[in-house]
Structures are given as C-alpha cells and as structure tokens.
Amino acid sequence: MKKLSFVILINMAFAALSLFAQDAQDSSGDFYYVKVPIAKIYSYSKGYVVTYNVGTYGTELDTVYIPTSWFSTKENKAVLIEMKATPVVPNITVYYRDGAFAHVKLYVKANYSDPSWGYMPLQVNLDDRFENVTDVSLKFSIAKE
C-alpha cells in the first residue's frame, strides 16, 4: 500500500511539473532558429566577421558582423562554442523570438588553424562595420532552374 501511494504521489508531481513547464513555454512567445553553415570566420579586434553561403549551390556569400560586446554577460546576445569533434561543420545559428532577433550562437572549430578560420590582415579596417549593430539578418537566395 505504501508503494502504491508513493507511485501515485510521484505521478502527480510529474503531472504538476509538466503543467508548469507548458505554461512557461507558452508565455515565452514564438521562438525559432535558423542554422547556416559558415564558409569562413575571421577574428577581428571588434568582433567576428562571419561569411556564409547565401545561394543553394554555395556560389554566393554574405557577411555578418558580430561585435565582441555581444559575448559579455551584460548583453548576452552571442555565444562562441568551440567544437573539438572532427566531423563538425562550423555554423551560425540565429535565434528569433516573436519574429525579432534574440541571440546568435557560433559553432566553430576549436583549432584556429582549421581552414574554416581565416586570417584578417592588419591593414584592413572594419571598425565601422561593428558600430550600431543591433541584430543579425541572414540573407538567402533560391536557385532558379
């Protein structure tokens, strides 16, 4: 009898927790993400320069600029995740809440000598590209046959 009442109590607790979890999920709004492979990522003094494939066949590239300040706990808009596993494809994942930019995650190779990491020459000045960046907007194009 004690076991039966204990099992019933545990089941009621899990049911209550699932109801609370559902309420928390519903109140957060519409949440989705877009994940795109990175063609090349460059470390720059003001942040990261990320080039990614726009077109279906990988012939077009676009660039996004992610400021270093976004990686701080104060802004908490970006996370850099260094992956050590070998079959990892570096990617940029942009998260949206209610249709507006929420945050971005960069999944990159931990080895900076990997071909996915590029070298930014010192004479290149991209400081203005990192000013007033408020979100990450990924562009796409669909191949026409």
Residues 46-78 have pLDDT tens digits of 999 999 988 766 678 999 999 999 999 899 999
Indicate whether 26 belongs to any domain: no
Res 54: pLDDT: 85
Domain containing 121: what range? 31-130
Res 58: pLDDT: 66
Indicate whether 2 belongs to any domain: no
Residue 135, pLDDT above cutoff 80: yes
Res 3: pLDDT: 55
Indicate whether 142 belongs to any domain: no
pTM of the complete model beyond 0.85: no
Residue 105: count of CB within 10 angstroms of its CB: 16
Q: For the chain, how many structural domains are there in total?
A: 1
User: What gap in Å lies between CA 32 and CA 96, rounded to an integer?
Assistant: 5
Indicate whether 104 belongs to any domain: yes
Residue 66: beta bridge partners? 48
Indicate whether 45 belongs to any domain: yes
Could you tell me which of 145, 115, 129 has the C-alpha nearest to residue 62?
129
User: What gap in Å lies between CA 51 and CA 46, rounded to an integer?
Assistant: 16
Residue 13, pLDDT above cutoff 80: no
Indicate whether 4 belongs to any domain: no
Indicate whether 140 belongs to any domain: no
Indicate whether 121 belongs to any domain: yes
